[in-house]
Chains A and B, each alone.
Chain A
C-alpha cells in the first residue's frame, strides 16, 4: 500500500471523501469528533477575506521589540541602541515614512507593504501574567486564550488536522483550559524521522513482516478490529511516505532554536496540521542590565534574520499568501534610558507586529509620556491614528489589537465582537473589506 502524504493533503485541502479520514489519520482524533458540526464554528468566516494561518511569535520575557519599532522615533528622550547596526532608518508604511531600527528595513518592501505596527498596552508588567495577556487580560470569553479562539474559528475553513494551536516552544498556553503540549523542532524530527541507525536502516526490511502481522490481526477479527487494523496499515504507509521535501526539512532540524522553529513552523503549515503555530524569537530578552543595549542590538539583528528566514521558508513553500506572522509578548520595555543599564518592564506599551496579505501597511496608535516613561495612546478606530480622544481607550487597546489581528486572519467581525469583549477592529490596519 502506498499513499503519499501529498495525496492525502490534497484530499484534505480539496475536500471530498478522503477529507475526514485524512484529518483523523494525522491528528489521531476520532473521525466522529472531526465530523461533528456542533463542534465547529456556527458563523463562517467572511468570504471577503482570505482565511489565514497564523505564526505567532510569543514569549514571557518582555522583549524590547517595542522600543525600536516604527512610531517610537518621536522624541530624543526615547533611547535607541547606539550600535550602528541599529541606526534609525526610514521605512515606508502605507503612504507615510517612519523611522525604525535598521534591521526592520531588511524585511524588504514585499513584507513591509503588508506589515502593521500596532502600539497598545498589555495591562501588566509582570512576567508570570503571560497566560493572562494571552487571554487579553480577561477580554476573551470563557477564559479562552486569543490564539485558541482564533484556532477554533479558523480550523473549519482551513480544514487543518487539529484545531488546537501547535506550540514549538512557548509554554504556559492553553486550549479550553488544558495546557498545550510543546513539541519542539527536534521532537517533531525525532517523532517523524526513522533514526539512521543499523536498526533504523532495516525499516524497509521489516515492511513485509509488518504487513504479515497486519494480515494476521485482520484474520478472524471482528469488523471493528479489522477496520482499525486497516487504519493502522494506512497510517504506517503514511508515515513512511512523507515527501522527500518534508523529510529533508525535518532532518535539518538539529536544534530547537529560533531558526529551527521557523523552519518547523513552515513544515507544520505545509502539512496543514494546525491553524496556529507558536514560536519564540528573542529580541533582547529581559534586559534590565543590558549595558548600552548591546544584547538588544544583537538579538534584534539576529531575530530579524530569523524573521527573514521565516518569510523565505513561507515563500519557498508557496505559503506567503496563506500565513500571517505576528508578535505578542507579555509586555514591552521602557523607552527612556536607564543610565548605562538596560530597560525595565513596561505594561503601558507593547508593539504587535503583524504581517500578512490581509494586513494594511501602517502604524496604529503611538506613544505618549506616561509616568516615568512612555505608554501607548488611545486610538481612533477608523484611521488608526493615536488620539487621546479616540474611540479606543488606552485600556481597550489590548482588546483592539486582538480584534484587529483576528480580522486580519479573516475571522468574521461579528464573531470577534462576540468573543472579545473589549476594543474595536482598527479598520485602517486590515484589508478585509469589512
Chain B
C-alpha cells in the first residue's frame, strides 16, 4: 500500500490528472456530460425566437460602436457626419482605433482571446515542479500579472507597428518586463523533465558564473549593491544585505546547497528567505524595483548558438538593459507563453492534448470535436490504448493526437525543452479543416496556423462576439467579405476592425444573415466595457480598479462591480463567454455603482463635472455625455426633459440641490443607453 509521508510538503501527481476528453478506453458511447457553449456560428435551435430584424438608426449604432471602442459618447459633429454620409462610419472607426481607450480595450480582448489570463499561483508554480513559489510583498502576483499581460501587449504592439496579425502565431519577440525575463530565465535554468525531476543546468554542474552552493545574507554592515551580489568576479558575489530578526543575532546567515540554492536565490530576489538558524520565513525585501515590473519592451527569445550560454537569470542588472533572452525552452507565438501553459497544464496522461486543442481554438476557432472529416496521413501518433478505433473517442483523437505531438516534441510536461529522444523524434501532423501538413517543430505549427484559411474567419467571429455578445453566422456572406478583406490586407488588424465595426454585422444598419439567425445582440454593457465607459465619460480612469474615495469606499465599489458579468473563456469552448442579458444582479449592481460614485462627480473639486449651481448645464452634460445622446439625437430633448423633471422633484423633496443633482446623475447613469450596448 502506498502511503504518504507526513509533515513536509509533498506533491502527489495523480496519473489521471488533467485528462482531455477520453480519460479511459470505453467500448460504449460516453454519456453526454458537458456544458459546451455553442461553436462559433452555431445557431441554437432550442433558443427563443429571434426578434424580427429592423435596421438600427444611425444615432444608435454610432453610440454603440464609439462606446465599444473608446467608451466615449459620440459628438454632434460625428452624428451629423454619419447622417450626411453613412459611409463615414469607416473613417470614424479608423480614428477611434488610435485612441488610448481602444488600446486598453484591445489589450483586455487579447488577454482573453489568446487565453493568457486564468491561472493562479499554484498553476504558475507547477511549471517549476513546485507547489508554490514563496515570495513577499506580492512580488509573485506582480510577476504573474506581467505574464498575463505580456502576450496581449505583444499582440497590440505588433498591430501598432503594422505587422501582420499572423505574427502572433510565429513571433519570437515578446513584450516583457525585467521581472518576467528573470522568471523565464530561472524557469529555463531549472529544467524539469517528464518525470517531474528538476535539474539546475549550471548550478549543479558548477558552470562558470554558477559555482556557488550557498547564499550569505548579512544582517549588519553596509548595503551591498545588487550589482556586486550578482557579479561572479566580486568578493560579494552571492552575498546580500538584509534586515530581519533572528535568534542570537548572527551577523550573517548562510543557506543553501547545490540542489536547493537555485530556488533559494530565485525566491530571495522575490523577498523570501528562510533558514534553520532564524526559524520562520523572513521578508528580506523584494530585490526588484517598481520599474522592473513595468519596463515593457521588445525582447527576442532565441536558442543559444553553438557554445553560447543561456541568459543568467540572477543578473538583474544585465536583464534591465537586455533585449534578448537566450533560452533552451522554445518560445514561439501565443501558445508557448508561461501564461498559456499555466492556463492549460498537461501531464503524462493528457500528453499536451489540452494544450493543442486550446491552441487550435485560439488560432482558428476550431476544436477537435470529431466532426472534421479530414483524415491524417497516418496514425503513428494516435494513442490507440487511449482512444481505441472502436470507441467514440477515436474521431477526436485521430486528428488531435498527431497535432499534440508537436508540443510533445518541443516541451516536457512542465513547459521546458523536451529532453526525451522518444518524444523528440515522434512525427507530428496537422490535419484540420482541409489542411494537412507534416509539422515537426513548434515553429512549423505556428507557420501552419498562419497560413490556414480558417484563421481570418476565426478572428472575425471572435470580434463579433466582442461587439455583439452573440455569434455571427458562419455562412454569412458579410463574414466572408470581411475575412477576405483581412486576408487581402496582409492581415492588417486595423483593416479587420474598420471593416467589421463599420459593417452591418456590428452596426445592424442593414440586414445580415447573422442578424436574421442570431439576433442583433442588444444587451448589457459587460463589466469591463461598463467601467471603462463610466471612467471615460466621468473622467475617472481608476473606476475599474475601485474608483475614487478611501479604502473602504474603494473596496465597496469593487464588491459591487464584482457582481457584474464579465467576458471570459473556458476549456474546450470555441465560443467566448460573453453574457448579454440583463439580470437582477446587473440592475442592482449598476444602480449601486452609480449611487456610490455620485458624490464624486457632483459638486466635486474646483471644476466639478456636474455643478448643482448650474443644473441646466449639468443636465445637458448628463444627457450628451453620460447617456450618450448628442445634439441631433431624436431622444435628446425628451431625455433632457425627463432628467429635469426628476431634478425638480428631488429638489422639492430634499430642498438640497446637490442631493437632487446626485439623484439626477444616478437616473442618467442607470438609463438604458448608459448601461447597455446596442440601444
Do residues A225 and B15 form an inter-chain contact, with CB atoms below 8 A? no
Given that A38-B32, A194-B595, A421-B23 are known contacts, is A187 also in contact with B560, CB under 8 Å in the complex? yes
Chain A: minimal CB distance from B131 (Å) = 4
Chain A: minimal CB distance from B400 (Å) = 14
Stretch at the interface among B41-49, B78-86, B100-108, B290-298: B41-49
Most buried by B among A24, A172, A231: A231
**In the bound complex, CA of A190 to CA of B671 (Å):** 20
A190 in complex: contacting residue of B8, B577, B592, CB < 8 Å: B592
**In the bound complex, CA of A137 to CA of B11 (Å):** 10
Q: How many A-B residue pairs have CB under 8 A?
A: 355
| A35 contact set on B, CB distance < 8 A | 44, 46-48
A229 — nearest CB in chain B belongs to which residue? B672
A73 at interface (Cβ–Cβ under 8 A)?
A: no
B592 in complex: contacting residue of A163, A171, A191, CB < 8 Å: A191
Interface string of A164-204 (1 = CB under 8 A from B): 00000001101111110111101110111111011110110
Given that A190-B592, A202-B663, A371-B5 are known contacts, is A141 also in contact with B23, CB under 8 Å in the complex? yes
Do residues B3 and A370 form an inter-chain contact, with CB atoms below 8 A? yes
B47 — nearest CB in chain A belongs to which residue? A32
Do residues B679 and A225 form an inter-chain contact, with CB atoms below 8 A? yes
**In the bound complex, CA of A415 to CA of B14 (Å):** 21
A200 — nearest CB in chain B belongs to which residue? B595
B121 in complex: contacting residue of A39, A42, A128, A231, CB < 8 Å: A128
| B4 contact set on A, CB distance < 8 A | 121, 123-125, 347-348, 371, 375
Do residues B6 and A25 form an inter-chain contact, with CB atoms below 8 A? no
Do residues A132 and B14 form an inter-chain contact, with CB atoms below 8 A? yes
A335 — nearest CB in chain B belongs to which residue? B6
A36 at interface (Cβ–Cβ under 8 A)?
A: yes
Interface string of A261-302 (1 = CB under 8 A from B): 000000000000000000000000000000000000000000
Do residues B635 and A138 form an inter-chain contact, with CB atoms below 8 A? no
- B1-38: which residues lie under 8 A (CB-CB) from chain A? 1-12, 14-21, 23-24, 30-38
Do residues A210 and B559 form an inter-chain contact, with CB atoms below 8 A? no
B379 at interface (Cβ–Cβ under 8 A)?
A: no
Stretch at the interface among A216-224, A310-318, A379-387: A216-224
**In the bound complex, CA of A123 to CA of B3 (Å):** 9
Given that A28-B565, A222-B56, A225-B522 are known contacts, is A418 also in contact with B12, CB under 8 Å in the complex? no
A209 at interface (Cβ–Cβ under 8 A)?
A: yes
A195 — nearest CB in chain B belongs to which residue? B595
**In the bound complex, CA of A216 to CA of B10 (Å):** 63
A228 — nearest CB in chain B belongs to which residue? B522
Do residues A214 and B121 form an inter-chain contact, with CB atoms below 8 A? no
Do residues A195 and B583 form an inter-chain contact, with CB atoms below 8 A? no
Do residues A216 and B642 form an inter-chain contact, with CB atoms below 8 A? yes
B309 at interface (Cβ–Cβ under 8 A)?
A: no
Chain A: minimal CB distance from B509 (Å) = 11
Given that A143-B571, A224-B522 are known contacts, is A232 also in contact with B17, CB under 8 Å in the complex? no
Do residues A347 and B6 form an inter-chain contact, with CB atoms below 8 A? yes
| A322 contact set on B, CB distance < 8 A | none
| B638 contact set on A, CB distance < 8 A | 216
Most buried by B among A124, A143, A206, A236: A143
A sample of 22 cross-chain residue pairs with beta-carbon separation below 8 angstroms, ordered by A number, consists of A25-B581, A28-B579, A30-B47, A30-B470, A36-B38, A38-B36, A39-B37, A43-B31, A128-B122, A129-B11, A137-B17, A138-B14, A152-B35, A177-B344, A191-B563, A192-B563, A195-B595, A202-B663, A217-B672, A388-B1, A421-B16, A422-B16
User: Which residues of chain A have a CB within 8 Å of any CB of chain B?
Assistant: 5, 20, 24-33, 35-43, 121, 123-132, 135, 137-139, 141-143, 152, 163, 171-172, 174-179, 181-184, 186-188, 190-195, 197-200, 202-203, 205-206, 208-210, 212-214, 216-217, 219-229, 231-232, 235-236, 238-239, 334, 344-348, 370-373, 375, 378, 388, 393-395, 414-415, 418-419, 421-422
User: Which residues of chain B have a CB within 8 Å of any CB of chain A?
Assistant: 1-12, 14-21, 23-24, 30-38, 44, 46-48, 50-57, 60, 118, 120-123, 125, 131-132, 343-344, 347, 349, 354, 470, 508, 519-520, 522-524, 556, 559-560, 562-563, 565, 568-573, 577, 579-589, 591-592, 595-596, 598-599, 634-635, 638-639, 642-643, 645-646, 649-650, 653-654, 656, 659, 662-663, 666-667, 670-673, 675-676, 678-679
* 7 other A-B residue contacts (CB within 8 Å) besides A123-B12, A193-B592, A199-B659: A20-B48, A28-B586, A30-B581, A125-B9, A192-B588, A202-B663, A415-B31
